[in-house]
Amino acid sequence: MALLPTMHPKKIFPSGKMPNLRYELAKLRMDYFLSEFSERNWANKKKPPPRYVLWDCTRRCNLSCIHCGATKETYSSELKTEQIKDILDDLSVLKVDMFAVTGGEPLLRRDLLEVMSYAYHQGLKTGIATNGLLIDHSMAERIKDANIYSVQISLDGLEQTHNRIRNNCQSFTKAVNAVRLLTKFRIPLLSVATTVTTRNISEIGELRHLLLQLGVKLWRLTVVMPIGRAQAADVSLDSNQLISLFRFIKENDRKGIRIYLGENLTFLGDWEKKIRGGPMICPIGFLACCIGVDGNVRGCPEQPDTVDTREGSLLENSFTEIWQNGFKRYRNREILVADPYCAECKSKFDCYGGCWVMRGGEQHCIYRLLS
Ligand code: SF4
Ligand code: SF4
């Protein structure tokens, strides 16, 4: 005899479907975290530290990819080794979790591994996003010796496609070799990143097989951003292609390889809880920010470094001061009022306005794009 009356699921969950509990819990945690930054809490509270600080360490690159977001800013100088080490001291006191570098090609900075090793000894986890071109056996060993926690290698298709996209006939072989070497050296978190475009969407199934053969456990899929050379390339996915990408993830995630979408695809409407374990909102000003090439702090490496996007300069103020006092437009979510669509949107507290960079090309509202 049942001790409790059996309740029909429709009475407990009006939609009749079990909620995605993992997702709902993550959303609750995220909402609580965001409230720590709200205006109401600002006056008296110290803001929690960012979890990730990204360092856009150089704009120099040894490739010229068709979808690259690198804009044409030129810098008379990059932060010097001692300057970035001073900044790392501040990040360490703040208890930032992760310090990750991007570019350009970060390994073109001769002092990169010295800086990463310093960050590690200051108690920060470190990460690097690279095209893999410079990773031979000796470089892989040096990356291991610098205690780099996470390495992300870009791979945008099978050999011919990747080489065409990257404008270099050696780039595929070298990227695959880099994955093999870093696997051999047991980098704790090795992942592959693929920018899915009209040029490579037809081969992501075969690419998955290749990654399985290489022993890759984590695969980040993202879409092209409307910035830099990508603006002219016209390789963005249309809504049908986006949906087939979501289907691909739904069918293949966690089958030998964890597949996840990069955060420039924020709220996905009906697809959100089918292919994500938690909400993906733009982390600028809450979880993350970016140190630019010459020490200006902005939200994200994909944003152009302009007067409008800068929150302060590390040549004038400490990182702690900039983090405590900047980023108001993101923390106030001004966009949810300023954008008439967002203001009326029933999902605005799931989405929070989408990716700021995609917004520049009117591609931020995946929900509207799909419906
Ligand atoms: S209208 Fe705005 S808040 Fe709503 S889903 Fe689109 S981008 Fe997000
Ligand atoms: S602006 Fe877009 S790419 Fe940058 S952190 Fe926000 S969601 Fe990510």
3 band by pLDDT with thresholds 50, 70 and 90: very low
65 band by pLDDT with thresholds 50, 70 and 90: confident
pTM for the predicted model, two decimal places = 0.90
For residues 2 and 111, the model is more confident at 111
pLDDT of residue 228: 74
Check pocket membership of 351 for ligand 1, CB cut-off 6 A.
Answer: yes
pLDDT of residue 229: 74
Q: Which ligand ends up closest to the CA of 52?
A: 2
pLDDT of residue 367: 82
Nearest atom, ligand 1, residue 364 CA:
7
What is the residue whose two structure tokens read 């208890």?
A: 95
Q: In which order are the strands placed within the sheet that holds 296-298?
A: 258-261, 218-223, 189-196, 150-154, 125-130, 98-102, 52-56, 288-291, 296-298, 312-313
The answer to whether 277 and 23 have CB atoms below 8 angstroms apart is yes
Q: Is the pLDDT of residue 180 over 80?
A: yes
Query: Which residues fall within 8 angstroms of residue 8, CB to CB, at 6 or more apart?
Result: none
Average pLDDT of span 22-31? 88
248 band by pLDDT with thresholds 50, 70 and 90: very high
pLDDT of residue 43: 61
- What residues does ligand 2 touch, defined as CB less than 6 Å away? 263-264, 266, 282-284, 300, 302, 355-357
pLDDT of residue 306: 92
78 band by pLDDT with thresholds 50, 70 and 90: very high
State which H helix or E strand residue 366 sits in: helix 366-370
Give the Cβ contact number of residue 148 at 10 Å.
26
The answer to whether 278 and 326 have CB atoms below 8 angstroms apart is no
Query: Given ligand 1 and candidates 266, 281, 348, which is best to mutate, with the most ligand atoms within 8 Å of its CB?
Result: 348
Average pLDDT of span 52-64? 92
Check pocket membership of 166 for ligand 1, CB cut-off 6 A.
Answer: no
Q: Is the pLDDT of residue 160 over 50?
A: yes
Distance between CA 361 and CA 72 in Å, rounded? 17
Q: What DSSP character marks residue 250?
A: H
Q: Is the pLDDT of residue 8 over 90?
A: no
Nearest atom, ligand 1, residue 345 CA:
4
pLDDT of residue 2: 40
Nearest atom, ligand 1, residue 351 CA:
8
The strand pairing partners of 258, in sequence order, are 218
303 band by pLDDT with thresholds 50, 70 and 90: very high
pLDDT of residue 64: 83
Average pLDDT taken over every residue of the chain: 90
Query: Given ligand 2 and candidates 356, 363, 364, which is best to mutate, with the most ligand atoms within 8 Å of its CB?
Result: 356
Q: Whose CA is nearest to atom 2 of ligand 1?
A: 342
4 band by pLDDT with thresholds 50, 70 and 90: very low
What is the Å distance from ligand 2's center to 270 Cα? 21
287 band by pLDDT with thresholds 50, 70 and 90: very high
35 band by pLDDT with thresholds 50, 70 and 90: confident
For residues 48 and 19, the model is more confident at 48
Q: What does the chain come to in residues?
A: 371
Check pocket membership of 286 for ligand 1, CB cut-off 6 A.
Answer: no
Q: What tens digit of pLDDT does each residue of 219-234 get?
A: 999 999 888 777 767 8
pLDDT of residue 7: 47
- Could you tell me whether strands 296-298 and 312-313 are parallel, antiparallel, or unpaired per DSSP bridges? antiparallel
- Per-position b or e across 231-249, b if 16+ CB within 10 A of its CB: bebebbbeeebbeebbebb
224: exposed, middle or buried (Cβ count in 10 Å: 0-12, 13-18, 19+): buried
